Chain A
Amino acid sequence: MKSLYIVIVGGGNIGYYLSKALLNQGHEVLIIERDVRKCERLEDELGSCCMRGDGCETVVLNEAGLSRADVLIATTSQDEDNLVSCQVAKHRFKVPRTIALVNNPSNDVIFRKLGIDATISVTNTILEHVEQEIPAHPLIHLLTMSGHMEEVVELLITKESPAVGKSIGQMKLPQDTTIALIMREGERPKIPSPDAVFKENDRIIALTTLDSEKILEKILLS
């Protein structure tokens, strides 16, 4: 495996455990942390892999050798700081991949629209798990494609669904949405043709976008 140079902004709990794991995988890691005491603690535990400074400042990022970094991960508790670190890394230092921790879940979509390659929202992750535990939930987020606005979702066709008895072609789905699989009890999952007809209790796997997700849900389940 290729060893990467990974810069982590924020030496809190997430920054610490992340660095530890990445160092163990053989990557080169540098943590940028504002607080001097946190820096010392990190160095005591992980060796010399911490730099004191503001991870949003060009001067600090330059000193951190950001132009040769493969990835920047911003893990502070302030969304605006994470956004700026990632944007400066991307536009000033041409870092190929930027990842931001998102505290306010609605920033998930906003950050990706503003050019951050990947966002991780703890709140949304927990919500997705809760959704999967509740079988009645009509739309489940399975996967968000990094770097794109695309995602994979699962929908359950219920008795009340307006799609029952209709074919995919009849449903006027959003342009950027594809029904990828229909899963039916007792049958092998199949890739549907446009004239495949929805039945009650079908589980649908669809490729859609963050913007079209609500429309898809409305059309198939309302």
Chain B
Amino acid sequence: MGCGRVGGKLAAMFDAAGHKVTVLDLDAYSFRRLPPTFSGTALIGNGTDEEMLRKAGIEDASAFIALTQGDNRNVMAAQIAKHIFKVPRVICRIYDPLRKDIYEQLGLESISPTEVFADILFNRLEKI
């Protein structure tokens, strides 16, 4: 869910590795990020909408990854995937580290790019 830079790249990587991939985005223009070789499905739609997720084939999915720009949208879609559709593996991007901590405690596998990137920069510069 979310075909931004990360979403588009990840979809291309999984597709190239031979997995079946469906990408959801509200904006058809964002699908330009998918390579011409992409053999998966690109769907325009809202990933926080139960019906849309069903159309995207979430009932058969082995993994769901929420990668939109909105933390709350990701959190909501990821929880629907995990708790309503029982997708076996769900990963959620949450920029806000505090919000990430809360949802981690609630059992939602989450990554905060803010935290990860700050850590990388800190570790690199501290070594100097």
A106 & B50 in contact (Cβ 8 Å cutoff): yes
Q: How large is the interface on A (under 10, 10 to 19, 20 to 34, 35 or more residues)?
A: 20 to 34
B50 & A92 in contact (Cβ 8 Å cutoff): no
| Interface set, chain B 69-128, CB cutoff 8 A to A | 70-73, 75-76, 79-80, 83-84, 96, 98-99, 102, 105-106
- Residues on B with beta carbons closer than 8 Å to the beta carbon of A106: 49-51
Q: How far is the CA of A81 from the CA of B70 in the complex (A)?
A: 10
B72 & A83 in contact (Cβ 8 Å cutoff): yes
B99 & A58 in contact (Cβ 8 Å cutoff): yes
A114 & B83 in contact (Cβ 8 Å cutoff): yes
- Residues on A with beta carbons closer than 8 Å to the beta carbon of B48: 79-80
Tally of contact residues, B, Cβ under 8 A:
20
- Residues on B with beta carbons closer than 8 Å to the beta carbon of A91: 102, 105-106
A84 & B80 in contact (Cβ 8 Å cutoff): no
B102 & A58 in contact (Cβ 8 Å cutoff): yes
A53-85 vs B, Cβ < 8 Å mask (1 yes, 0 no): 000111100000000000000000011110110
- Residues on B with beta carbons closer than 8 Å to the beta carbon of A84: 71-72, 75-76, 99
Selected from A57, A81, A87, A104, the residue in CB contact (under 8 A) with B106 is A87
Q: How far is the CA of A115 from the CA of B54 in the complex (A)?
A: 22
Q: Is A110 located at the chain interface by the 8 A CB criterion? A: yes
Q: How far is the CA of A200 from the CA of B98 in the complex (A)?
A: 59
- What is the distance, in angstroms, from B9's C-beta to the closest C-beta of chain A? 24
Query: Shortest 9 CB-CB distances between A and B: which pairs?
Result: A80-B72, A80-B76, A58-B98, A84-B72, A80-B73, A106-B50, A83-B76, A81-B72, A92-B102
Known contacts A80-B75, A83-B75; 13 additional CB pairs below 8 A are A56-B72, A56-B99, A57-B98, A78-B72, A80-B76, A84-B72, A84-B76, A88-B99, A88-B102, A92-B102, A104-B49, A110-B80, A110-B84
